[in-house]
């Protein structure tokens, strides 16, 4: 077994060659990047979509594949940030939307489609008696926190280190090391005065903070997503449930990734733990922009009800120009209905991806235990760490390399395998990825390990 430093130096000498191959394969992407830098900061619409030496510019997608501006085809293991659970542009969804497009894309009045969709979601998502739609997961988290504070009349909020709830001020902290302070400039420390963060999978830390502060809500992703696709260990979620009951705080499951992914009813159904409020996004929009919602029991949600609380100062605000627009409602309804009626898709995909995680671990074992897999259902994290991480802090602290994630991403791109990000291997595939696509990922991974360890 090579020392970590020896592997690192092999990677350093491999990188220029991989970058060269990449530039030969993607000249048009390079051109678009140069143009893009003049009008988009960093040449991208969102920093996490940037890859070194430049991002791929995708011009077409279908099923489990995407094609870049040079005509290269990739199997996509990222699927629109985890949105496209039935692949890119599933026909049932695009057909359903086509009809409404000629009747109006956005009425700006109430529409019956939102009501039907809300009814469907109330049947599919556990504990969801009432729901409101938002334009994004970020917004859904923002309104949920406001609602939780209104309901409990408390100010503090607890989030998980490495937990990502979008760019909303109060929750935009403790996402990356050192897991403290604002994650952005322009975000005064004062805004974070009531935000407390604790490590994932740590029940004692949760109890300590709940005992000490009047906490309105604990926000947790049932499976840590952007923090590395790390699964809950032991009875973590159940214990969080009990602790929040005991200390009078609301338990909020941010199911923006896990919702409709782990099961039709998301992490609540998959782990059989009920939250007080659930935050939804991504898949809920049926593949269209404007994907978000939050909901829970009527007694909490009624604090938004203007008929019960006509004075706006006595209720929790929620709204927005595009919320509940017919395109999102019809697309989301069609998709979620299909998912709820085809539960066997989950059994197949969840077992395929857990088999994949086991096989990645086996490969890692054979190659001197330089990597580990994490995740649940169709969420997969692969970590080049000394130990298997149980939380985001360990994802970063146990790393043995500064370059391996980037080198692996580059290597994958060259082999027709695509995911985000180049800093963290986490996959959010669709339920329709085939066994051979799973095998392709595994074969690419194994050949990369051979390249850095044995060649
Ligand atoms: C768990 C989680 N919550 C919230 C968000 C924010 O959602 P959006 O990007 O739609 O604002 C994300 C986005 O990736 C997420 O993964």
Q: How far is the CA of 223 from the centre of ligand 1 (A)?
A: 13
SS3 track for 295-309: EECHHHHHHHCCCCC
CB atoms near residue 367 (< 10 Å): 19
182/273 same-domain check: yes
What is the model's pLDDT at position 295? 98
Residue 82 covered by a domain: no
The sign one gets for the Cα dihedral 336, 337, 338, 339 is positive
Q: How far is the CA of 7 from the centre of ligand 1 (A)?
A: 35
Domain final residue pick, 301, 323, 341: 341
Ligand 1 atom closest to residue 139's alpha carbon, by position in its atom list: 11
Question: Residue 428 has which token pair?
Answer: 């959010």
CB 63, CB 33: distance < 8 Å:
no
Task: Find residue 321's DSSP bridge partners.
Answer: none
352/302 same-domain check: no
Q: What is the tens place of the pLDDT at every residue in 125-136? A: 999 999 999 999
Pocket test for ligand 1, best of 164, 228, 262 (most atoms within 8 A of CB): 164
Q: How many CA atoms lie within 13 A of 236 on its CB side?
A: 20
Check pLDDT > 80 for residue 455: no
Residue 83 covered by a domain: no
95/182 same-domain check: yes
Ligand 1 atom closest to residue 291's alpha carbon, by position in its atom list: 10
Measured distance CA(384)–CA(382) in Å, rounded = 7
Q: How far is the CA of 449 from the centre of ligand 1 (A)?
A: 32
CB 120, CB 114: distance < 8 Å:
no
Q: H helices of 367-434, where?
A: 392-397, 404-414
What is the model's pLDDT at position 276? 98
43/96 same-domain check: no
Summary mean pLDDT of the chain? 97
Check pLDDT > 80 for residue 326: yes
Residue nearest to atom 1 of ligand 1 (CA): 256
Neighbouring residues of 144: CB distance < 8 A, sequence distance ≥ 6: 217, 219, 252, 277, 279, 294
Residue 155 covered by a domain: yes
Residue nearest to atom 3 of ligand 1 (CA): 165
Query: What is the pTM for the complete model shown?
Result: 0.98
Q: How far is the CA of 137 from the centre of ligand 1 (A)?
A: 5
Neighbouring residues of 331: CB distance < 8 A, sequence distance ≥ 6: 93, 96, 97, 285, 286, 287, 288
What is the model's pLDDT at position 454? 83
283/407 same-domain check: no
What is the model's pLDDT at position 410? 98
193/217 same-domain check: yes
CB atoms near residue 14 (< 10 Å): 18
Residue 299 covered by a domain: yes
Ligand 1: lining residues by beta carbon, under 6 Å: 81, 136-138, 141, 164-166, 221, 225-226, 254, 256-257, 281, 292
Residue nearest to atom 4 of ligand 1 (CA): 165
Distances (CA, A) of 138 to 144, 178, 223, 229: 10, 22, 17, 19
User: What confidence tier does 226 reach under pLDDT thresholds 50, 70, 90?
Assistant: very high
Domain final residue pick, 341, 364, 394: 341
Check pLDDT > 90 for residue 224: yes
Pocket test for ligand 1, best of 46, 85, 166, 284 (most atoms within 8 A of CB): 166
Pocket test for ligand 1, best of 165, 285, 375, 428 (most atoms within 8 A of CB): 165
Q: Beta strand pairing status for 425-427 and 156-160?
A: unpaired
Q: Measure CA 354 to chain center.
A: 18
Give the SS3 label for residue 107: coil
Q: How far is the CA of 5 from the centre of ligand 1 (A)?
A: 36
Measured distance CA(141)–CA(59) in Å, rounded = 31
Distances (CA, A) of 82 to 85, 225, 240, 452: 7, 10, 26, 30
334/244 same-domain check: yes
Q: How far is the CA of 169 from the centre of ligand 1 (A)?
A: 14
Q: How far is the CA of 325 from the centre of ligand 1 (A)?
A: 20
Check pLDDT > 90 for residue 432: yes
Question: Residue 189 has which token pair?
Answer: 């420390």
Structural domain that includes position 408: 4-76+344-453
Q: Beta strand pairing status for 73-76 and 156-160?
A: unpaired
435: CATH: 3.90.1150.10
57/110 same-domain check: no
Residue 242 covered by a domain: yes
210/288 same-domain check: yes
Give the SS3 label for residue 229: coil
Pocket test for ligand 1, best of 162, 222, 225 (most atoms within 8 A of CB): 225
Task: Find residue 61's DSSP bridge partners.
Answer: 66
Number of H helices, E strands in the chain: 15, 14
Domain final residue pick, 341, 371, 404: 341
CB 198, CB 209: distance < 8 Å:
yes
Check pLDDT > 90 for residue 2: no
Measured distance CA(451)–CA(132) in Å, rounded = 50
Residue 85 covered by a domain: no
Q: How far is the CA of 256 from the centre of ligand 1 (A)?
A: 6
CB atoms near residue 213 (< 10 Å): 17
Number of domains composing the chain: 2
What is the model's pLDDT at position 90? 98
205/305 same-domain check: yes
Q: Of the candidates 146, 158, 252, 261, which has an alpha carbon nearest to the alpha carbon of residue 206?
A: 158
Measured distance CA(305)–CA(327) in Å, rounded = 24
What's the average model confidence in pLDDT over 22-42? 98
Q: What is the tens place of the pLDDT at every residue in 77-118? A: 999 999 999 999 999 999 999 989 999 999 999 999 999 999
Ligand 1 atom closest to residue 279's alpha carbon, by position in its atom list: 3
156: CATH: 3.40.640.10
Neighbouring residues of 125: CB distance < 8 A, sequence distance ≥ 6: 259, 265, 266, 268, 278, 280, 295
Neighbouring residues of 246: CB distance < 8 A, sequence distance ≥ 6: 210
Q: How far is the CA of 136 from the centre of ligand 1 (A)?
A: 7
């Amino acid at each position: 077994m090579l020392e970590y430093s020896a592997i690192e130096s092999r990677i350093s000498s491999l990188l220029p060659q991989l970058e060269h191959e990449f530039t030969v394969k993607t000249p048009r992407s390079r051109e678009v990047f140069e143009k893009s830098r003049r009008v988009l900061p960093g040449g991208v619409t969102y920093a996490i979509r940037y890859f070194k030496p430049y991002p791929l510019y995708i011009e077409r997608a279908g099923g489990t594949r995407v094609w870049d501006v040079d005509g290269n085809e990739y199997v996509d293991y990222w699927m629109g940030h985890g949105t496209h659970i039935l692949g890119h542009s599933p026909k049932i969804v695009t057909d359903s939307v086509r009809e409404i497009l000629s009747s109006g894309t956005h009425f700006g009045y109430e529409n019956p489609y939102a009501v039907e969709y809300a009814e469907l979601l109330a049947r599919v998502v556990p504990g969801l008696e009432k729901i409101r739609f938002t334009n994004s997961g970020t917004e859904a988290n923002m309104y949920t926190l406001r609602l939780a504070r209104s309901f409990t009349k408390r100010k503090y909020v607890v989030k998980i280190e490495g937990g990502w709830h979008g760019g909303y001020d109060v929750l935009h902290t403790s996402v990356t090391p050192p897991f403290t302070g604002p994650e952005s400039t322009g975000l005064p420390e004062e805004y974070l005065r009531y935000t407390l963060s604790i490590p994932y999978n740590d029940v004692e830390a949760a109890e300590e903070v709940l005992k000490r502060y009047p906490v309105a809500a604990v926000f947790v992703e049932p499976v840590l997503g952007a923090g590395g696709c790390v699964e809950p260990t032991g009875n973590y979620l159940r214990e969080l449930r009990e602790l929040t009951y005991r200390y009078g705080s609301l338990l909020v499951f941010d199911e923006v990734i896990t919702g409709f992914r782990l099961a039709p009813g998301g992490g609540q159904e998959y782990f059989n733990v009920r939250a007080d409020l659930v935050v939804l996004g991504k898949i809920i929009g049926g593949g269209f922009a404007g994907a978000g919602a939050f909901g829970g029991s009527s007694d909490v949600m009624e604090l938004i009800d203007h008929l019960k609380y006509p004075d706006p100062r006595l209720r929790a605000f929620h709204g927005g120009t595009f919320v509940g627009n017919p395109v999102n409602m019809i697309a989301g309804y069609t998709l979620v209905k299909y998912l709820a009626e085809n539960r066997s898709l989950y059994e197949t995909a969840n077992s395929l991806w857990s088999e994949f995680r086991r096989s990645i671990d086996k490969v890692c074992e054979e190659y001197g235990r330089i990597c580990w897999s994490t995740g649940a259902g169709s969420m997969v994290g692969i970590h080049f760490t000394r130990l298997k991480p149980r939380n985001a802090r360990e994802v970063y602290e146990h790393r043995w390399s500064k370059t391996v994630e980037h080198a692996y991403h580059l290597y994958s791109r060259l082999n027709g395998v695509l995911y985000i990000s180049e800093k963290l291997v986490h996959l959010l595939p669709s339920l329709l990825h085939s066994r051979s696509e799973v095998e392709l990922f595994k074969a690419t991974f194994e050949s990369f390990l051979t390249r850095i360890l044995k060649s």
